[in-house]
Amino acid sequence: MVSTVPHNTGVDGVEGGVGLTALLVAAARALETHRHDSLARDVYAEHFVRAAPASAGWPVRPEQVPGGDADPLWGRFARYFGLRTRVLDDFLLRSVRAGARQVVLLGAGLDARAFRLDWPPGSVIFEIDREGVLAFKHRVLDGLSAAPRATRVPVPFDLRADWVGALADAGFDPAAPSVWLAEGLLFYLPAAAETYLIDTVHRLSAAGSALAFEVKLEKDLLKYRDSPLYTETTRRLGIDLLELFAREPRPDSAGGLANRGWSVSVDLPFDHTRRLGRGPLPEPNDALEGNRWVFAVRPRP
């Protein structure tokens, strides 16, 4: 077991950058929800933002962003997260409708998909994250009397420990098809931890399973250090994303899955902007240029 997965620091108190990034994504989802041309809706997101002192003053509605889409943080970057949410929502729902009724959210954070998506009957959503993160989420959702739309199974466990055993104890069946999601997670992992995670998902995935994750090309970590997306996130929120990202050479996780027989596609976010007709497009000095979304399916015999 690789024991170098970093803390997804708890949002209750928000100590450290990764906890703040969970709130950043929640704020982005709130902004997307209230856009006139929304790509994804998450009515719970703004409540997470308001419940944490560190983010209570952040914008959660477009009219609270003076620069609109031109704002590099609450405009373009937030729209990126809105696009990512929509694309990953679609992938998960498509996968469960194809028969993968087990959904595993790795580093679930403030993801509210169990509560907001229309899951087919029999779907089970496993949410793996640290106890403090899930406790904060539960407090907010309980206060809203929110009810999940599928069987939801929180797995309060640190990904640095034996999360495989905890997942099995929670009822996960490796003989049944599953769909896995590592959203905004692999950026922060050392290479060995990413390899372990991908290897483990492969080992636990029956035929008909699916996996989606996000990676970043190494060149992005240095080439775009002065990108407004990074500099404004640091200046306004105190989140230095480049300091949080693991900087060692990255494994070819997509290629590794393909070599094991998975059907793999690697997409640019901008491909989905063009397909959906809204979202961020390339621009000069673009920190999003190196982002890739990987979608993999383990074919049935």
pLDDT at 11 over 80: no
Q: In this prediction, what percent of the chain has a pLDDT beyond 70?
A: 93
Is the pLDDT at 171 greater than 70, yes or no?
yes
pLDDT, tens digit, 9 for 90 and up, residues 36-45: 999 999 999 9
Please tell me the predicted confidence (pLDDT) of residue 242.
Answer: 87
Per-residue pLDDT at 12: 39
pLDDT at 167: 97
Per-residue pLDDT tens over the stretch 261-290: 999 999 999 999 999 999 999 999 899 999
- CA 210: distance to chain centroid? 15
Percent of the chain scoring above 90 in pLDDT: 81
Query: If we measure between CA atoms, which residue out of 81, 88, 180 comes closest to residue 126?
Result: 180
Is residue 30 within 8 A of residue 36, CB to CB? The reply is: no
Helix-helix angle 17-33:78-97, to 10 degrees: 80
65-100: per-residue pLDDT in tens?
999 999 999 999 999 999 999 999 999 999 999 999
What is the per-residue pLDDT for 160? 79
Return the closest-CA partner of residue 166 out of 131, 217, 213, 191: 131
Q: Which of 8, 46, 3 is nearest to 187 (CA)?
A: 8
Question: What tens digit of pLDDT does each residue of 109-161 get?
Answer: 999 999 999 999 999 999 999 999 999 999 999 999 999 999 999 999 988 78
The residue to which tokens 């009515």 are assigned: 43
pLDDT of 298 higher than 90: yes
In whole numbers, what is the pLDDT of the chain averaged over residues?
91
- pLDDT tens digits along 198-212: 999 999 999 999 999
1: pLDDT confidence band, cut at 50, 70 and 90? very low
Mean pLDDT of 32-39: 97
* pLDDT, position 282: 93
**Pairwise CA distance, residues 289 & 219, whole Å:** 10
Tokens of 33: 């929800």
Domains for the chain: give ranges and CATH numbers.
17-297 (3.40.50.150)
Per-residue pLDDT tens digits for 213-257? 999 887 667 788 899 999 999 999 999 998 888 888 889 999 999
Reduced 3-state DSSP string for the chain: CCCCCCCCCCCCCCCCHHHHHHHHHHHHHHHHHCCCCCCCCCCCHHHHHHHCHHHCCCCCCHHHCCCHHHCHHHHHHHHHHHHHHHHHHHHHHHHHHCCCCEEEEECCCCCCHHHHCCCCCCCEEEEEECHHHHHHHHHHHHHCCCCCCCEEEEEECCCCCCHHHHHHHCCCCCCCCEEEEECCCHHHCCHHHHHHHHHHHHHHCCCCCEEEEEEECCHHHHHCCCCHHHHHHHHHHCCCHHHHCCCCCCCCHHHHHHHCCCEEEEECHHHHHHHHCCCCCCCCCCCCCCEEEEEEECCCC
C-alpha dist (Å) from residue 53 to 48, 100, 106, 159: 10, 38, 25, 26
User: 9 pLDDT exceeds 60?
Assistant: no
Distance CA 184, CA 68 (A): 24
Specify the pLDDT at position 220: 65
